[in-house]
A and B are shown apart, each in its own frame.
Chain A
Amino acid sequence: MTGRGQPGRLASGGLVDRSQTLGFRFDGNAMTGHPGDTLASALIANGVVLAGRSFKYHRPRGILTAGSEEPNALVELRTGPRREPNTKATTIELFDGLEARSQNRWPSLGFDVMSVASLLSPVFAAGFYYKTFMWPAGFWERVYEPLIRRAAGLGRASGQPDPDSYETAFAFCDVLVIGAGPTGLMAALTAARAGARVILCDEDFVFGGRLLAEQFTLDGISGADWAVSITAELAQNPGVTLMRRTTVFGAYDHGAFGALERVGDHLPVPAPHTPRQRLWRIVAKRTILAAGAIERHIVFGGNDRPGIMMASAVRACINRFAAAPARRLGVFANNDDGWKTVADCLRAGIAVEAVVDPRPVISETLRTLAAQAGARLFTGATVLDAFGTANGLQAVDIRTSSARIETVSVDGLALSGGWNPSIALTCHLGGRPVWRDDLAAFVAGGTPAGMAIAGAATGAFDLRSCLADGARSGAEAAEAAGFTARAVETPTATEETLGLMPLWSVPGARTKAFVDFQNDVTVKDIEIAEREGFRSVEHLKRYTTLGMATDQGKTANLNGLAIMAALTGRAIPETGTTTFRPPYTPVAIGAFAGHHRGKQFRPTRLTPSHDWAAEQGAPFVETGQWLRAQWFPKPGEADWLASVNREVRAVRSAVGVCDVSTLGKIDIQGVDAGALLDRVYINSFSTLPVGKVRYGAMLREDGIVMDDGTAARLADDHYVMSTTTVNAAKVMQHLEFCHQVLWPELDVQMVSVTEQWAQFSVAGPRARDTLRKLIDPATDISDAALPYMGVTGIVACGGISGRLFRISFSGELAYELAVPARYGDGVIRALVAAGAEYGIVPYGTEALGVMRIEKGHPAGNEINGTATASDLGLGRLMSRKKDFIGRIMAERPGLTDPGRPGLAGFMPVDQAVRLRAGAHFIGLGAPAAARNDEGYMTSVAFSPSLGHWIGLGLIRNGPARHGQRVRAYDPVRGGDIEVEICSPVFVDPEGARLRV
């Protein structure tokens, strides 16, 4: 298959642009096509019949449809990191340089080693996973699954990062029209003329739907030309948004829809600054589902042979793409619509060898047509088996009305079993389809609020009905959205008849008869399921995998259901319904992620001193969304521990500065501000004097500690609360809940001011000396004027208004200086300059953590969602004079049991040994078993102050056991060491350093 010829291209007609030639490769073979082609139509024009191999049996498969319901022609599109598996050749718009590869074959498409699976097919029948690989159990993961995965499956992912970008976007409209066939075009036109904001979506790259694929005449012009003229009018209307290449894949609550726009899929590489795909959330006041219908097949032996196509797809090939899928075609149709194929072949010069119609009686018009085409006519007949090779169809066996078998030589077969309304979107919010005997099809049982269905999607399959229905529904939707619609004249159009006689499956096939092509489910599989009791449609589906492929069984489900109905002697609606879940067609995860991948996975919050810290070479750690400086390495330091030890020693001996802006800050004002704080903290705040700060803890309703922090009283009716970094939003939410829901009578106003302030901890014996150089001398910050736990307003650096809190996390003389955040960068530089003469060091979160462990302050590792205030040594804070959230529940016996794990310190008996957080405590000599577990190590650090590792932990009856020894057992890292229980406060237990 080389060279530039297009042996299957018709000489004239179609909607392809023959003036331009596009080169592409399929399995490495160079071919050509034209703008307007899909990959599928270009392959057909190039005489390619074999498109891929099937999922389970590696059967040769061709192209079945001309749309997104395609189960067979799945290919790997593009190469390298852009390689995308399982793309449907029928929906890939041809572009110059396109490269595609068939899937699931080795070593080549024509000769596939794994197709022996077809010979072993009895083994692979329904339920084979459940029956075959039961023993030994250990073999499943190591042997069976890898084997099956290699044999089955479809395309290969590239395994490399996707070089393209994706986007999400929001759109709003009065009327959303889904599908731009004749119905959708009329609906959009009517609604748009009424003045409504209209969005018209279609998954195809050209509007028109079946108008493009049939020989219709509307108002005296071709259907395709009519579609062009309507589209042109819509494009002129500023209230209309036309979205081609856009699949509405899901219906969600309140008129919201998910839609995928393939912005750059039809290009070799997306245009600069544009995404490959854009995921839209469309919110519509009214929606018209004009998604048309999907032609269904008839099951017979060998019905998956390449060369067998849906009749509608054959006509799309001929009329739209000017490509001949066969030279000698057979037609097998149980309805008049399928017969259109005969007329179109006649016009295009394609021989029709035979027309097989199971209906005993057909109209004279059809008989004449068959005669004109020179086709042998078989009425009351069926196609029983099809025969061929990987290179195409050779013949079909026809069972005639007199039950004789006649073999007719054909190289293509057009198949029509009727049409199924495309109602997937009506099911996404729980709608159940209902059966209509007159149509022999399921139609929507209801629609989501605001949605109407129109045209073929309702089962009104003929063009005249579609046009009228479109105009009517467009007017109704516009009126419902508040506009006045005028009647739009419906064009005169070709008359159509259907005359369907349902036929789902031809009994007596001698070769394998497929129901679900993509998942290789055969009639025999359904028979096995029935025999083994899997008769419910839900069981049938799961036992056989019917309808569970990426096409959701669009061409398979109803045939499968009908076969089960026949086997069980029930009617189709008694047997079950077929329903649909989003997405209508597969959507790449990248499209859902949009902008949010890599570093943009979620927003990053930078501290006010971030740029300065980066200049110092600090590594950063993620704490929630924040990036915080972890430590500040100096040249010559061997590792992080060396830097952290130096920082801790500097704070304990001189002075250090740390950005603590990430802590939550909530401004609380109002006459009842103190009352609110009394109710949310376990300790009292209404008694806190103005100018003072107090440490507080708050409980959840269930009595467990939620968060801790400080609150400062700035005025009688004004506090500022601090929370931990991680709980900032949660505490704000909690306070809002308490105020809005529990105690709306309180006169309290609160707002987060976390972002407003750059806050720096200045800690160490020389902290005051350092600050003295920056703080306006009018403010006395001596120990007498601003003692431990005091707060005052200050002016810093000659004009920056801020606040100075004398609070300490490190246990040293310490302050937190708060200045407006935009000044944070300048103030950190000023602090470091001012402290230089005292040996100031910046310190990061690691040193912060070491010092809080040395001081025994509980933090996130200890406030772990199971610890009570008493467990953490905060029991004495719990006020007995007032009520507070969590008080009652904290008194439950289980929470007051003295044997509960309580906070304690831990030291290794051998001081050279490192401690590990997460190690469990077990009594000396007791076996390392869960029943002997006494608690676990929550936090560890190397203490440069003590010269060995120290830890905090929660151990049964901890506070009463200082001096005892236990095992710290760490099976994850192979640790098992002896530790001594001690006070959790390792440094300055009297707190003397705080008050100097």
Chain B
Amino acid sequence: MSEPTPMPRSPFARPLAALGPSEAGAGITVMARDGLALATVIGRKGKADDLAERVEALFGIALPAGPRRIAAGRIAFVGAGPGQWLAVADSSADPNALAIRLARDLAGFASVAEQSDSRAVIRLSGPCVRLVLAKGLPIDLHPRAFGPGDAALSAIAQIGVHLWQLDEAPTYEIAAPLSMAGSFADWLIAAGAEYGIARTGSHCEGST
């Protein structure tokens, strides 16, 4: 027990290492979102109303019925299918705490599964971000079609992704399977090279 506890390893640490730090003129900037806590929340049968009331009471969030992201404070619920959400919490402390808390607080109304380590989440912004995403995402991101708070389950470069838009800048976050972070980064770097792609640093101080 004398050995120090290992640190979590960012799935993007190696794949994005080749990118330079943010500089003026980059068409797209990327940031690994390593400290996010994620949990799948699936409503129990016949408990949709109870669940919605409980989530509203606990977080002040009206659970979205479709592919939308509703946030309050540091937590958000993103639609992930009928009666299913991905809870996303911005907490660099203990990611596991989210699933444990939700499982306790939503007991009987929802099943909760810890997913913090199942996804590699990346934040994308910059003037050319839509042009870059068009090279992989078969979804219309034009402001008339997709705006802040909208979310989608789709695929980029044959990789299943969960995507949501944060603001009108626009800024997007994309969650991809952790094991495919390298292939996702390969696509992103190839797609973004034309417009200039740079890193804006990592959210997680614990990443290596």
Q: Tell me which of A299-307, A510-518, A557-565, A600-608 binds B.
A: A600-608
A742-773 interface with B by 8 A CB criterion: 745-751, 753-758, 773
Please pick, from B6, B119, B135, B181, the residue contacting A800 in the complex, using a CB distance under 8 A: B6
* Chain B proximity mask over A716-754: 1 for CB below 8 Å, otherwise 0: 001000000000000000000000000001111111011
Cβ of A753 and Cβ of B118 under 8 Å apart? yes
Is A829 an interface residue, CB under 8 A from the partner? yes
Task: Determine whether A233 belongs to the interface, using a CB cutoff of 8 Å to chain B.
Answer: no
- Give Cα A830 to B3, complex, Å: 8
- Contact, CB under 8 Å: A823 / B6: yes
Q: Are B183 and A600 in contact (CB under 8 A)?
A: yes
- CB of B158 within 8 A of CB of A596, answer yes
With known contacts A755-B177, A799-B5, A165–B190 Cβ distance under 8 A: yes
The CA of A747 and the CA of B109, in the complex, are separated in Å by 11
B157 at the interface (CB under 8 A from A): yes
The answer to whether the Cβ of B202 comes within 8 Å of any Cβ in the partner chain is no
Interface residue B10 (Cβ < 8 Å from any Cβ of A): yes
The number of A-B residue pairs with CB atoms under 8 Å apart is 153
User: B9 to A749, Cβ gap below 8 A?
Assistant: no
CA gap between A165 and B193 in the complex, in Å: 12
Chain A residues within an 8 Å CB radius of B8: 820, 822-823, 826
A180 to chain B, nearest CB (A): 21
Assembly CA distance A932 to B116 (angstroms): 57
Which chain B residues border A611 with CB–CB below 8 Å? Answer: 14
Is the C-beta of A881 less than 8 angstroms from some C-beta in chain B? no
A879 at the interface (CB under 8 A from B): no
B160-208 contacts to A (CB < 8 Å): 177-184, 186-187, 190-191, 193-194
The 0/1 profile, CB within 8 Å of B marked 1, for residues 162-203 of chain A is 000101111110000000000000000000000001000000
**Are A605's CB and B96's CB within 8 A?**
no
Q: Are A756 and B187 in contact (CB under 8 A)?
A: no
* Given known contacts A167-B135, A755-B177, A822-B10, A606 and B115 CB-to-CB distance under 8 angstroms: no
Q: In this complex, what residue of A is CB-closest to B183?
A: A603
> A667 in the interface, Cβ–Cβ < 8 Å?
yes
Which residues of chain A come closer than 8 Å to B138, judged between CB atoms? 170, 281
Distance, CA A755 to CA B180, complexed state (A) = 10
Say yes or no for A274: interface residue by CB 8 A criterion: yes
Across the two chains, which residue of chain A brings its CB closest to B45?
A747
- Interface members, chain B 24-67 (any A CB < 8 Å): 34, 40, 42-46
B134 surroundings in chain A (CB, below 8 A): 169-171
Partner of B6 from A172, A625, A826 at Cβ < 8 Å: A826
Measured between beta carbons, the chain B residues less than 8 angstroms from A667 are 40, 111, 113
A595 adjacent to chain B (CB < 8 Å): yes
> A626 an interface residue at 8 Å Cβ cutoff?
yes
Q: A595-B157, A670-B45 are in contact. Are A605 and B144 (CB under 8 A)?
A: no
Question: Would you call A822 and B179 a contact (CB within 8 A)?
Answer: no
| Residues on the B chain within 8 Å of A607, using CB | 179
**A268-287: which residues lie under 8 A (CB-CB) from chain B?**
273-274, 281, 283
Is B1 on the interface with A (CB-CB < 8 A)? yes
- A749 contacts B183, CB within 8 Å? no
Any A CB within 8 A of the CB of B18: no
B6 near A603 with CB under 8 A, answer: no
B203 to chain A, nearest CB (A): 14
Which residue on A lies nearest to B6, using beta carbons?
A826
Q: How far is the CB of B39 from chain A (nearest CB, A)?
A: 10
User: Does A911 reach chain B (CB closer than 8 Å)?
Assistant: no
CB neighbours (8 Å) of A168 from chain B are 135
How far, in whole Å, are A669 and B42 apart by their CA atoms in the complex?
A: 9
CB pair B183–A172 under 8 Å, yes or no, is no
Q: Is the CB of A755 within 8 A of B14?
A: no
Name the prevailing secondary structure of the A interface residues.
mixed
| CB under 8 Å from chain A, chain B span 91-128 | 95-96, 110-111, 113-119
How many residues of A sit at the interface, in one of the four size bands?
35 or more
Is the pair A604, B183 in contact by a Cβ cutoff of 8 Å? Answer: yes
Cβ-based interface call for A3 (8 A): no
Determine if B75 is an interface residue (Cβ-Cβ < 8 Å). no
A833 engages B180 (CB within 8 Å): no
The verdict on A537 contacting chain B, using a C-beta distance below 8 Å, is no
Q: With A605-B179, A821-B118, A821-B178 given, is the CB distance from A797 to B42 under 8 Å?
A: no
Distance of A254 from chain B, by nearest CB (Å): 12
A605→B160 CA distance, assembly (Å)? 12
A147 to B84 Cα, complex, angstroms: 64
A372 proximal to B (CB < 8 A): no
A827 within 8 A of B: yes
Interface string of A800-828 (1 = CB under 8 A from B): 11000000000000000000111111110
B96 to chain A, nearest CB (A): 6
Contacts of A596 in B (CB 8 A): 157-158
Are B9 and A820 in contact (CB-based, < 8 A)?
A: no
Tell me the chain A residues, 465-515 only, with Cβ under 8 Å from chain B.
Answer: none
Q: Is A801 within 8 A of B115, CB to CB?
A: no
Residues of B within 8 A of A826 (CB): 5-9
A107 within 8 A of B: no
Closest to B114 in A: A756
Determine the residue in chain B with the shortest Cβ distance to A283: B140
**Which residues from A are CB-within-8-Å of B42?**
669, 749-751
Query: In the complex, A773 Cα to B10 Cα: how many Å?
Result: 26
Chain A contacts for B187, CB-based, 8 A: 595, 600
Q: How far is the CB of B45 from chain A (nearest CB, A)?
A: 4
B158 surroundings in chain A (CB, below 8 A): 596, 602-603
**Smallest Cβ distance from B107 to chain A, in angstroms?**
10
Look across to chain B and name the residue whose beta carbon is closest to the beta carbon of A599: B186
Q: Is the CB of B117 within 8 A of A273?
A: no
Q: Are B11 and A170 in contact (CB under 8 A)?
A: no
A195 to B196, CA, bound (A): 31
Is A635 located at the chain interface by the 8 A CB criterion?
A: no
Contact between B182 and A606, CB atoms less than 8 A apart:
yes
A798 within 8 A of B: yes
Within 8 Å CB of A800, what residues of B? 5-6
With contacts A170-B134, A603-B184 taken as known, whether A197 is within 8 angstroms of B144 at the C-beta atoms is yes
Mask: chain A, 696-717; 1 = CB below 8 Å from B; 0 = not:
0000000000000000000000
* Shortest Cβ gap from A194 to chain B (Å): 14
- What are the interface flags for B126-162 relative to A under an 8 Å C-beta threshold, 1 for contact and 0 otherwise? 0000000011111110101100000000000111000
Q: Give CA–CA (A372, B5) in the complex, Å.
A: 97
Q: Given the complex of chains A and B, what is the CA–CA distance between A820 and B7 in angstroms?
A: 11
List residues of chain B with CB within 8 A of the CB of A833: 3
Say how far A304's CB is from chain B's closest CB, in angstroms: 43
Would A595 and B190 count as touching, CB distance under 8 A?
Answer: yes
- Chain A, residue nearest B157 (CB): A595
Residue of A nearest to B145 (CB): A172
Listed residue (A604, A820, A823) with the most chain B CB atoms within 10 angstroms of its CB: A820
Q: Smallest distance from the beta carbon of B169 to chain A beta carbons, Å?
A: 17
CB contact between A604 and one of B10, B118, B144, B180 (< 8 Å): that residue? B180
Question: Which B residues are in CB contact (< 8 Å) with A281?
Answer: 138
Q: For B180, what are the chain A residues with a Cβ–Cβ distance below 8 Å?
A: 603-605, 625
Residues of A within 8 Å of B5, CB to CB, are: 797-800, 826
Q: A607: nearest residue on chain B (CB-CB)? A: B179
A344 CB to nearest B CB, Å: 42
B185 smallest CB distance to A (angstroms): 11
Listed by A's residue number, 12 A-B pairs whose Cβ atoms lie within 8 Å are A169-B134, A273-B194, A600-B183, A600-B186, A603-B159, A607-B179, A625-B180, A747-B46, A798-B5, A822-B34, A824-B9, A830-B3
Identify 15 new A-B residue pairs, CB closer than 8 A, beyond the known A820-B114, A821-B118.
A273-B194, A274-B194, A595-B187, A600-B157, A603-B159, A626-B179, A750-B42, A755-B177, A756-B114, A756-B115, A758-B117, A798-B1, A822-B9, A826-B9, A829-B6
> Which B residues fall within an 8 A CB radius of A?
1, 3-11, 14, 34, 40, 42-46, 84, 95-96, 110-111, 113-119, 134-140, 142, 144-145, 157-159, 177-184, 186-187, 190-191, 193-194
9 shortest interchain CB distances as A-B pairs: A826-B6, A669-B111, A822-B8, A755-B118, A749-B111, A747-B45, A273-B193, A172-B140, A749-B42
